[in-house]
Structure 1
């Protein structure tokens, strides 16, 4: 693939973890404003040359970084503007709620052991008391006086562990007009409760929400499963995909009269993967619940399954150190062999993957996928029509300080898997670390924005910079 070089132009600096970067047109304005949501709960916008606070919900956010040495995957995770925001002022938030800290689902670190079947079939019991926190999805409105105000709560989700809650988790589909929520598998490692493949579990799914339908339930119950939701809420939801480990959002790319959907699935030990699909057949939650009541399988033809936890991207999920007594072997054992077999045909194959270890000179060892965005601009011609992705930190033992990575790929006309190419950047971060934590775009996908942080600790304040990626 063509080698691409870009520049990074700083737009705003000294902010907290920039988890969501996107644009919209404010009521009364004629041009787009850039919005930045930070993990700690601030939302800023940039217009007329200055940065202003749009909303500050820090008091509503769970206390971050306390139990994990400063690292956290909770907080303000999703921001989406209604397609008619200019006229109706509606926008949507996904965040981890203050005061909901629980004792987690289980305390010991989890790793499946194929030699011990007990570790392969864990159950999440006592969910009302054994959980980590509660996430909420809310509808807000920008009032005529310019002040945002909460209107209603759409979902309250109890999460078993601190991590894998999704990020950039709310986006509107230009295809259906529905709000798309991407949820992670609930956390820990290896999806210990196999929530991502269970049709009743809300975790590990891509969910479409019809926000036009008013359920008249403004404070829904806290749930973990679809069948725990009141019927009016069930009727607003369809499930677009399952088999999700953790997702940095979904990107839609118009292709003639269709949309290509791009989704990145964050890997476990081996590989990070980007998936693409055009056609899909979502299943209404009411159908899933009905099938569960009748102890039958719903029709899943056309339903997207990314394969987790049986598959990590294009590979059967493996765990290091199998049953061998030889410690010198870098042995990997298929952790969930039966699940890998059962989903081998039904799962979607990745468009491209990159590895945590890769000796090829023009590639890189990755850490975690943090953004996937289609690019339709002409400013960087070699990227036009491609999908750009970002990784948190390049794995290089000899290199300090840390640097993130940009790369790109594109859909092949023959439908086969494609390779990827690293995008070279010329920005000098000096001695400061640069974790690439988010990727964003504008309304017509002609611009790309990159959120960078100097530390992976949420307790290290104001080390973030948002760049525009330019030729």
Structure 2
């Protein structure tokens, strides 16, 4: 693999922070349109060169940016179109609900202390009062008059903290036809309650929802654990992975008669990781609940486990602190040694990783993974068949404006981990910061779309641009 140069073609600018970029064909239309969902609750689509509003749910969303100086990880986080959207008009939303603001589950920021067992065995108690907000997953329909309308609520999930709610969190599986929800571990840092490894917790999982089943549950209860759900809802759910920290969606790449699944897991202090798998063993939620009630251990051979919180990518989760004798160095201490040992043999190793500290001249130092998409087009031949990913903000030695990072890797024939290579955009953002906040593709994965924002604060409005990533034009002779 080589470092690849690409161009960026602006499609739309001066929009709010784009969280989801994907295409669909509207009922009765003949053209595939690019849809853009923003974190503050707008959904636009590009039609005949114009930006048109598809849906505005800003009034349904929690007030964003109220804490953290404008930084927020809540909002409109997921948008997915039913595979039959052209015929049935069904689409799905995941967002943080207005009026559900609570107080965090912990009164102060959390850092594990390997010398203090009490910090390693915290439990989320008083969940009905100690939480940050409630997320909902809903089914909507585009009516014959062109107006979207909510049809039903699929899930209401209580979240312990502001962050790690997932982003681009809803996608349909071309294998099963089911809606896939990626939840994130609930937030804070280091997963203080170890929700991601607990089979009963909704947090920290990848979940398939069979939307073809009507549960006839008009107003699902607000829950945090699977056993709290009514049985008809349990029967629509399967868990396909756990050990999730935070995920910018799941993507699928057709390989003959199978699909390679790609998942990026955002790291803590050390590393950002991209995982790939083909085969997996789904766990029906009713099966998980029954095993929990009977206190039976389930056979989890073949069940996908990304290893968090014991593992951060391919490394035992570590705390980093400055070395008093040399400020240029960091001391790394394993945070959860026994959990790392427990999951060492069953976790899925990453396909590739990139690091927060990396002095290699042909790499970059990252901050947070924000998108993972396969590319099957021919417009950028060097990337055909690869998986492309984005990082929010690469760390530079110079003190210039912040820029995000693009890179790619490939699945190896022998199944072993692979290295990554940088994609260099031929585009000048000038003095403006350019955080790479989202990555999207079209229906046949022949185009790539990049969401860029001029600030990390969702309350700094109208600083977004969506680009198409294109091959560089050859100079004329």
TM superposition score category, shorter chain reference? over 0.9
2:423 and 2:451 map into 1 onto residues whose CA distance is: 16
User: Residue in 1 aligned with 2:306?
Assistant: 306
Q: What pairs with 1:126-137 in structure 2 (closer than 5 Å)?
A: 126-137=126-137
User: Residue in 1 aligned with 2:89?
Assistant: 89
1:341 and 1:316 map into 2 onto residues whose CA distance is: 9
Q: What pairs with 1:182-193 in structure 2 (closer than 5 Å)?
A: 182-193=182-193
2:457 and 2:331 map into 1 onto residues whose CA distance is: 32
User: Residue in 1 aligned with 2:354?
Assistant: 354
Structure 1 residue 325 displacement after superposition: 8.7
2:297 and 2:397 map into 1 onto residues whose CA distance is: 48
Q: Aligned with 1:404: secondary structure?
A: strand
Q: What pairs with 1:109-148 in structure 2 (closer than 5 Å)?
A: 109-148=109-148
1:293 and 1:397 map into 2 onto residues whose CA distance is: 54
Q: What is the number of equivalent residue pairs in this alignment?
A: 470
User: Residue in 2 aligned with 1:241?
Assistant: 241
Q: Aligned with 1:196: secondary structure?
A: helix
User: Residue in 2 aligned with 1:18?
Assistant: 18
User: Residue in 2 aligned with 1:65?
Assistant: 65
Structure 1 residue 396 displacement after superposition: 1.4
Q: What pairs with 1:358-373 in structure 2 (closer than 5 Å)?
A: 358-373=358-373
Structure 1 residue 327 displacement after superposition: 8.3
Q: Deviations over 1:375-433 (max 9, x none)?
A: 00011111000000000000114241000000000000011110000001111101000
User: Residue in 2 aligned with 1:288?
Assistant: 288
User: Residue in 2 aligned with 1:4?
Assistant: 4
Structure 1 residue 320 displacement after superposition: 2.3
Tell me, yes or no, if structure 1 residue 395 matches structure 2 residue 425: no
1:262 and 1:155 map into 2 onto residues whose CA distance is: 24
2:74 and 2:179 map into 1 onto residues whose CA distance is: 21
User: Residue in 1 aligned with 2:266?
Assistant: 266
Structure 1 residue 58 displacement after superposition: 0.1
2:370 and 2:394 map into 1 onto residues whose CA distance is: 12
1:326 and 1:298 map into 2 onto residues whose CA distance is: 49
1:237 and 1:36 map into 2 onto residues whose CA distance is: 27
Structure 1 residue 104 displacement after superposition: 0.9
Q: Deviations over 1:122-165 (max 9, x none)?
A: 11000000000000000000000000000000000000000000
1:128 and 1:465 map into 2 onto residues whose CA distance is: 39
Provide the alpha-carbon RMSD of the alignment. 1.1
1:360 and 1:397 map into 2 onto residues whose CA distance is: 13
Structure 1 residue 47 displacement after superposition: 1.4
Structure 1 residue 230 displacement after superposition: 0.2
User: Residue in 2 aligned with 1:79?
Assistant: 79
Q: Aligned with 1:263: secondary structure?
A: strand
Q: Aligned with 2:196: secondary structure?
A: helix
User: Residue in 1 aligned with 2:445?
Assistant: 445
Q: What pairs with 1:218-257 in structure 2 (closer than 5 Å)?
A: 218-257=218-257
User: Residue in 2 aligned with 1:458?
Assistant: 458
Q: Deviations over 1:161-208 (max 9, x none)?
A: 000000000000000000000010000000000000000000000000
Structure 1 residue 112 displacement after superposition: 0.3
Q: Aligned with 1:233: secondary structure?
A: helix
1:29 and 1:142 map into 2 onto residues whose CA distance is: 13
Q: What pairs with 1:35-74 in structure 2 (closer than 5 Å)?
A: 35-74=35-74
Going from structure 1 to structure 2, the CA distance change for 1:446 and 1:113 (only over 3 Å counts) comes to same
User: Residue in 1 aligned with 2:474?
Assistant: none
Structure 1 residue 48 displacement after superposition: 1.3
1:325 and 1:122 map into 2 onto residues whose CA distance is: 30
1:184 and 1:327 map into 2 onto residues whose CA distance is: 36
More divergent stretch after superposition (294-303 vs 79-88): 294-303
User: Residue in 2 aligned with 1:279?
Assistant: 279
Q: Aligned with 2:373: secondary structure?
A: strand
Structure 1 residue 246 displacement after superposition: 0.1
Q: Aligned with 1:416: secondary structure?
A: coil
Tell me, yes or no, if structure 1 residue 315 matches structure 2 residue 315: yes
Structure 1 residue 107 displacement after superposition: 2.0
Gaps of 5+ in 2: 472-477
User: Residue in 1 aligned with 2:378?
Assistant: 378
Q: Aligned with 2:174: secondary structure?
A: coil
1:115 and 1:339 map into 2 onto residues whose CA distance is: 15
1:420 and 1:333 map into 2 onto residues whose CA distance is: 27
User: Residue in 1 aligned with 2:201?
Assistant: 201
1:208 and 1:133 map into 2 onto residues whose CA distance is: 23
1:81 and 1:391 map into 2 onto residues whose CA distance is: 25
Structure 1 segments, 4+ long, off by >3 Å, are 324-329
Gaps of 5+ in 1: none
Q: Aligned with 1:286: secondary structure?
A: helix
Structure 1 residue 330 displacement after superposition: 2.6
TM-score, normalised by the number of residues in structure 1: 0.98
